[in-house]
Amino acid sequence: MAGPGRTTPAGDATYRELVRPLLLPSWLVIGILMVLPVALMAVYSFLTREFRGGVIWEFTLAAYDQFFFDRGLFGDEPPRIEWTYITIFWRSIWQAGLATLMCLVIGFPTAWFIATRPARTRGIWLFLITIPYWVNLLIRTVSLRFLLRDTGPMNGALQSLGLIDAPLPIINTNLAVQIGLFYSYLPFMVLPIYAAVERYNFALSEAAADLYASRWATLREIVLPVVKPGIVAGCILVFIPSLGAFLAPDLLGGAKTFMIGSLIDEQFRGSQGNWPFGAAAAMILMTLVLFVLLIYARAQGRAPR
Amino acid sequence: MTDAVDLRGVVKRYGTVTALHGVTLSIADNEFFTLLGPSGCGKTTLLRLIAGFEDISEGEIRLFGHDIARLEPNQRPVNTVFQNYALFPHMSVLDNVAFGLKMKGVDPAARRARAGRMLEMVHLSAFAERLPAQLSGGQQQRVALARALAPEPKVLLLDEPLSALDLKLRQAMRVELKQLQEETGITFIFVTHDQEEALTMSDRIAVMSAGRVQQIGTAREIYEAPVNRFVADFIGETNLLEVEVASVSDGRATVILPGGARITCPSSSMTGGRHHLSIRPERLTISDRAELMANVERVVYLGTDLQVIAHLDGGQPITLRLQNAARTSLPEPGQRIGLHLEEGGARLLAD
Amino acid sequence: MKGVRHYPGFLALTILCLAVLYAPLIVVAIYSFNASTSITSWGGFSLRWYGEVFTGREAARFGQAAWNSITIALIASTVATVIATAAALAMVRGGAFRGRQASFALINLPLMVPEIVIAVATLIFFSAIGLTMGYLTILLAHITFCIPFAYLPIAARLEGIEATYEQAARDLYATRAQAFRLILLPLMMPGIVSGWLLAFIISLDDFIITNFVKGAGMETLPTAIFGSVKQGIKPNIMALSTLMLLVSVLFVTAAYLINRKGRQTP
* Cα–Cα distance, A115 to A110 (Å, whole number): 9
The alpha-carbon gap from B336 to the nearest alpha carbon of chain A, in Å, equals 57
Chains A, B: CB contacts within 8 A come to 74
The alpha-carbon gap from A33 to the nearest alpha carbon of chain C, in Å, equals 7
Residue of chain A whose alpha carbon sits nearest to that of B75? A212
Tell me whether B64 touches chain A (CB under 8 Å).
Answer: no
- Collapsing DSSP states into helix, strand and coil, what is residue B80? strand
Does the pLDDT value for residue A1 go beyond 50?
no
The alpha-carbon gap from A80 to the nearest alpha carbon of chain C, in Å, equals 28
Kindly give, in sequence order, each residue whose CB lies less than 8 Å from that of residue B328, ignoring residues fewer than 6 positions away.
none
pLDDT tens string A226-281: 999 899 999 998 999 999 899 999 999 877 788 999 999 989 987 778 999 999 99
Q: Which chains touch C (3 or more CB pairs under 8 A)?
A: A, B
| Four-CA torsion B163, B165, B171, B172, nearest 10 degrees | -130
Interface confidence, given as ipTM, is 0.86
* Beta strands per DSSP E along chain B: 5-14, 17-27, 32-36, 58-63, 66-67, 78-81, 155-159, 187-192, 204-209, 212-217, 239-249, 252-256, 262-266, 273-279, 284-286, 292-301, 305-312, 317-323, 336-341, 346-349
Contacting residues of A for C243, CB less than 8 Å apart: none
What's the confidence (pLDDT) of residue B60?
93
Amino acid at B92: S
- Collapsing DSSP states into helix, strand and coil, what is residue B190? strand
Q: Where are the domains of chain B?
A: 5-224, 237-349
Q: Do B70 and C3 touch (CB under 8 A)?
A: no
Q: Name which of B52, B84, B99 is nearest A211 (Cβ-Cβ).
A: B99
Contacting residues of A for C120, CB less than 8 Å apart: 41, 264, 268, 278-279, 282
Residue of chain A whose alpha carbon sits nearest to that of C25? A143
Q: Do A305 and B133 touch (CB under 8 A)?
A: yes
Phi-psi map region of C9: left, alpha, beta (phi>0 left; psi -120 to 50 alpha): left
Residue of chain C whose alpha carbon sits nearest to that of A112? C10
Is the entire prediction scored with pTM above 0.90?
no
Q: Do B55 and C4 touch (CB under 8 A)?
A: no
Residue of chain C whose alpha carbon sits nearest to that of B68? C1
Going by pLDDT thresholds of 50, 70 and 90, the confidence category of residue A5 is very low
Residue of chain A whose alpha carbon sits nearest to that of C27? A147
A150 by Cβ neighbours in 10 Å (0-12 / 13-18 / 19+) ranks as: middle
C17, C101, C104, C142, best to mutate vs chain A, most A CBs in 10 Å: C17
What's the confidence (pLDDT) of residue B270?
65
CATH superfamily label, A19-302: MetI-like (1.10.3720.10)
* Cα–Cα distance, A280 to A67 (Å, whole number): 8
Q: Judge whether A223 and A209 are in contact, CB under 8 Å.
A: no
The architecture (CATH level 2) of B5-224 comes to 3-Layer(aba) Sandwich (3.40)
Q: Which of C214, C61, C83 is nearest to C146 (CA)?
A: C83
* Cα–Cα distance, C193 to C254 (Å, whole number): 10
Q: Helix, strand, coil proportions of chain A in percent (round to 5)?
A: 70, 5, 25
What mean pLDDT is reported for chain A? 87
What's the confidence (pLDDT) of residue C50?
87
Contacting residues of A for B99, CB less than 8 Å apart: 208, 211, 213, 221
- Averaged pLDDT, A1-15: 52
Chains B, C: CB contacts within 8 A come to 10
pLDDT tens string A147-203: 888 877 888 888 888 888 878 888 888 899 999 999 999 999 999 999 999 999 999
Residue of chain C whose alpha carbon sits nearest to that of B53? C3
What's the confidence (pLDDT) of residue A10?
47
What's the confidence (pLDDT) of residue A3?
41
What's the confidence (pLDDT) of residue B269?
60
Kindly give, in sequence order, each residue whose CB lies less than 8 Å from that of residue B156, ignoring residues fewer than 6 positions away.
B78, B79, B80, B81, B148, B149, B181, B186, B187, B188, B189
What's the confidence (pLDDT) of residue B327?
63
Q: Name which of A204, A226, A304 is nearest B133 (Cβ-Cβ).
A: A304
Tell me whether B250 touches chain C (CB under 8 Å).
Answer: no
- Residue ranges, chain B, pLDDT below 70: 1, 268-272, 326-329, 351
Tell me whether C102 touches chain B (CB under 8 Å).
Answer: no
* Beta strands per DSSP E along chain A: 48-49, 55-56, 69-70, 80-81
CATH number for the domain formed by residue range(s) B237-349: 2.40.50.140
Q: Where are the domains of chain A?
A: 19-302
Tens digits of pLDDT across chain C (266 residues): 568 888 999 999 999 999 988 989 998 899 889 887 777 777 788 888 888 888 878 888 899 999 999 999 999 999 999 999 999 999 998 888 888 889 999 998 888 889 999 999 999 999 999 888 999 999 999 999 999 999 998 998 898 888 888 888 888 888 888 888 888 999 999 889 889 988 998 899 899 999 999 988 899 999 999 988 888 888 888 899 999 888 888 888 887 777 676 665 44
Q: Which chains touch B (3 or more CB pairs under 8 A)?
A: A, C
Contacting residues of A for C18, CB less than 8 Å apart: 128-129
Tell me whether C4 touches chain B (CB under 8 Å).
Answer: yes
The alpha-carbon gap from B47 to the nearest alpha carbon of chain C, in Å, equals 15
* Beta strands per DSSP E along A7-130: 48-49, 55-56, 69-70, 80-81
Q: Do B88 and A207 touch (CB under 8 A)?
A: yes
Q: Among residues of chain A, what percentage have pLDDT more than 70?
A: 94
C13, C20, C21, C166, best to mutate vs chain A, most A CBs in 10 Å: C21
